[in-house]
A and B are shown apart, each in its own frame.
Chain A
Amino acid sequence: MADHAEGASGAGPSQRAVELGVAIAIGGFALIIIIGSIKAGTGWGLEGPKAGFFPFYVGLIIMAASILNAVHALTIPAGKEFADWGQLRQVLSVVVPTAFYVGLVPFIGIYLASMLLIAFFMRWLGSYGPTVIAPVAIGVPIAFFIVFERWFLVPLPKGPIEYWLGF
């Protein structure tokens, strides 16, 4: 993580903006819950309170809390940073490859995808050579295979290569 220091100088989004955004997003979530509860019925039915009764009030409480949080967010001093762009780039450098990894699992199975993820991280964040990457990236998924499929008999998602190998 040598490049971490470079990003430290750059500014980033303000804490105020992010907190306001989070409060509004939670308010939006509350609205969805309220609408969904009204659809399910919030009144009194044959079996007592209907299915939407409890979540309806849960939604109202979330809404009230997020209004308070939004008001509070406005009082945060403007200068306070949520994180600087360099830090956020670091965070995204984990989120984006992981998202690709998750997207790949249904197609190539978890073992091959894990090999790629480990190799990618070791190359990108650690700048390791192939002689270090290969044993870790190949060894770890194989160890997982032995522990899960053989010892605990828990099947993990497999792709065409595993089928081709006869598993």
Chain B
Amino acid sequence: MEELGNLFHGFAIALQPFNIMVMFVGIILGVLIGVLPGLGGANGVAILLPLTFSMSPTSAIIMLSCIYWGALFGGAITSILFNIPGEPWSVATTFDGHPMARQDRAGEALTAAFTSSFVGALFAVIMITLVAPLVASFALKFGPAEQFSVYFLAFCSFVGMSKEPPAKTVAAMFIGFALAAVGLDQVTGQLRLTFGFETLLTGFDFLIAVIGLFGIGEILLSIEEGLTFRGGRAGMNPRVVFQTWKRLPRYWATSLRSCIIGCWMGISPAGATPASFMSYGIAKRTSKDGHKFGTGEIEGVIAPETAAHAAGTAALLPMLSLGVPGSPTAAVLLGGLLIWGLQPGPLLFVEQKEFVWGLIASMYLGNVVGLLVVLTCVPLFAAILRIPFAIIAPLILVICAVGAYTVHNSVFDVVLMLGFGVLGYILKKCNYPLAPLVLAIVLGDKAEENFRQSLLASQGSLSIFWSNGLVSTIMALGLIALFWPLIHTAWTRMRIATAA
């Protein structure tokens, strides 16, 4: 078992005192980010990315991924105590979590949420440990055409699986591709789409887009809705924690099912949000207490939290092994790899063993650290939410501005950030999804490069994407994903027709 040896080596790296410290800092920052309105996993990581430029890539990725775990944990706190989902994937947690808090069972709900998150993440990390090296060694055989087909599949699944109208998803996604194309052409070295503006020479940085779209855009949305925080008390103590832990094994079937749903949805780019809803829905249908869901059932907290955390973690599998991120936050982490000079994709497993296995080991440890931190510090984090919006809002604006500036030390980026913020607000209000836009900015150059290299090999014929079994299968899967809504409706209609 070469992998096991690699994993132990990874643990040795992750357990270095500096990396342990970085883990704690990351988790605490992450929970803060998850709790504060306007700061989420993706833009929190984007803002803090420049601070890691001086660290070694391994410590940097440990810190950033821990911020991500922290944000996943933090989302549950606001959902349960304040009925405000700090992150979209914790919306389903409010359904039963907040009623529990209203019945003075907040401690129970929080313990269940954190423990489920931990279980979901652990399941996904074990899956990554076992599957990622296999996928990577398989993907090493990929040429440009196969690599492009993987991107094609990822983007098609976005269109087919998003709940927003397909034309809007396509529009948002291709705006991302267009923005990625601005500036220097990677293949020919020619300038394009700059229209003589010097500031556009370097193109649009995805970090600025993420900070603006998700950070500023989110603040504008929350201010429009008029934020008022009214929340229950946390009421956590060791007795509540142990009592809840005693009850949790009863729901093992729900947990296991939610883990599987989460892993599946996390690998495909559907992400944590639909995973949490789907898991909640299925638990409601299959549980014998299903009719009581929504009134404060602990199972209604376990199901979405397990799935969301499993999905959030599983999203790193395609990022590490294929170079295709499964979520916006994974996309930002992938952008980080590029900045640190690492080439994301299957070669990482060969060339950067220390980095990959250090990261995987830190996923195990980071989630243990995360569970400890949130279980002990909930009242502290909940207190932050009681700071009035008039103080928190300008602080977040300043944090976003500083984050945007430090990416390239450019004031123009801060202007762009504000522009992206207003754009994000309007697009969100008009039902355009933002995740595919960000993913397209990150992956645009790579997708284009692979597309053009494939065409170069085939002298411009698109038949290269159907030239062998592997590439045809992935392309066909992509087309099925793209037209999935149509296929699904046609199939249901056919079934109704045959039944009648």
**Nearest CB of chain A from residue B143's CB, rounded to whole Å:** 15
Q: Which of B171, B391, B397 has the most CB of A within 10 A?
A: B171
Q: With A54-B181, A136-B391, A154-B50 known to touch, is A65 a contact of B418 (CB < 8 Å)? A: no
- Verify B174–A58 contact, CB threshold 8 A: yes
Q: Which residues of B contact A62 (CB under 8 A)?
A: 170-171, 174-175, 178
A69 to B175, CA, bound (A): 14
Q: Which residues of A contact B452 (CB under 8 A)?
A: 48-49, 53-54
A92 to B225, CA, bound (A): 13
Q: Which of A32, A58, A121 contacts B394 (CB 8 A)?
A: A121
B386-425 residues at the A interface, CB under 8 angstroms = 388-391, 393-395, 397-398, 401-402, 405-406, 409, 411, 414-415, 418, 421-422, 425
- Verify A54–B451 contact, CB threshold 8 A: yes
Q: Which residues of B contact A138 (CB under 8 A)?
A: none
A37 to B190, CA, bound (A): 12
Stretch of B133-141, B216-224, B303-311 at the chain-chain interface:
B216-224
Q: Which of B165, B409, B426, B455 contacts A22 (CB 8 A)?
A: B426
A1-26 residues at the B interface, CB under 8 angstroms = 1, 4, 15, 18-19, 22, 26
Q: Which residues of A contact B292 (CB under 8 A)?
A: none
Q: Which residues of B contact A146 (CB under 8 A)?
A: none
- Verify B430–A1 contact, CB threshold 8 A: no
- Verify B192–A37 contact, CB threshold 8 A: yes
Q: Which of A4, A22, A121 contacts B393 (CB 8 A)?
A: A121
- Verify A54–B398 contact, CB threshold 8 A: no
Q: With A26-B171, A122-B391 known to touch, is A51 a contact of B192 (CB < 8 Å)? A: yes
> Does A166 sit within 8 A of B, measured CB to CB?
no
Q: Which residue of B lies closest to A20 (CB)?
A: B430
A48 to B422, CA, bound (A): 38
> Does A160 sit within 8 A of B, measured CB to CB?
no
**Nearest CB of chain A from residue B312's CB, rounded to whole Å:** 27
**Nearest CB of chain A from residue B141's CB, rounded to whole Å:** 23
A45 to B187, CA, bound (A): 12
Q: With A1-B389, A51-B190 known to touch, is A72 a contact of B165 (CB < 8 Å)? A: yes
Q: Which of A19, A65, A101 contacts B170 (CB 8 A)?
A: A65
> Does B188 sit within 8 A of A, measured CB to CB?
yes
> Does B490 sit within 8 A of A, measured CB to CB?
no
The secondary-structure label for the interface of chain A is helix
> Does A155 sit within 8 A of B, measured CB to CB?
yes
- Verify A55–B193 contact, CB threshold 8 A: yes
A53 to B405, CA, bound (A): 32
A68 to B164, CA, bound (A): 14
Q: How many residues in A have their beta carbons less than 8 Å from beta carbons of B? A: 72
> Does A161 sit within 8 A of B, measured CB to CB?
no
**Nearest CB of chain A from residue B463's CB, rounded to whole Å:** 16
Q: Which residues of A contact B50 (CB under 8 A)?
A: 154
A164 to B193, CA, bound (A): 42
- Verify B170–A48 contact, CB threshold 8 A: no
Q: Which residues of B contact A87 (CB under 8 A)?
A: 224-226
> Does B195 sit within 8 A of A, measured CB to CB?
yes
- Verify B394–A49 contact, CB threshold 8 A: no
Interface string of A131-159 (1 = CB under 8 A from B): 00000100011001000100011111100
Q: Which residue of A lies closest to B392 (CB)?
A: A121
> Does B228 sit within 8 A of A, measured CB to CB?
yes
Q: With A50-B188, A65-B170, A91-B224 known to touch, is A105 a contact of B401 (CB < 8 Å)? A: yes
**Nearest CB of chain B from residue A15's CB, rounded to whole Å:** 8
Q: Which of B192, B389, B401, B427 contacts A101 (CB 8 A)?
A: B401
Q: Which of B51, B411, B422, B456 contacts A154 (CB 8 A)?
A: B51
Interface string of A82-124 (1 = CB under 8 A from B): 1100011011011100110110011000100010011011101
A117 to B191, CA, bound (A): 38
Spell out A's residues near B (CB within 8 Å): 1, 4, 15, 18-19, 22, 26, 29-30, 32-33, 36-37, 39-40, 44-45, 47-55, 58-59, 61-62, 65-66, 68-69, 72, 82-83, 87-88, 90-91, 93-95, 98-99, 101-102, 105-106, 110, 114, 117-118, 120-122, 124-126, 128, 136, 140-141, 144, 148, 152-157
Spell out B's residues near A (CB within 8 Å): 50-51, 54, 165, 167-168, 170-171, 174-175, 177-178, 181, 185, 187-188, 190-193, 195, 216, 219-220, 223-228, 388-391, 393-395, 397-398, 401-402, 405-406, 409, 411, 414-415, 418, 421-422, 425-427, 429-430, 432, 448, 451-453, 455-456, 460
Query: 22 A–B contact pairs at CB < 8 A?
Result: A36-B192, A36-B193, A49-B456, A54-B448, A55-B178, A55-B181, A58-B178, A65-B167, A65-B168, A91-B223, A94-B393, A94-B397, A98-B216, A98-B397, A105-B401, A118-B394, A118-B395, A126-B388, A126-B389, A136-B391, A153-B54, A154-B51
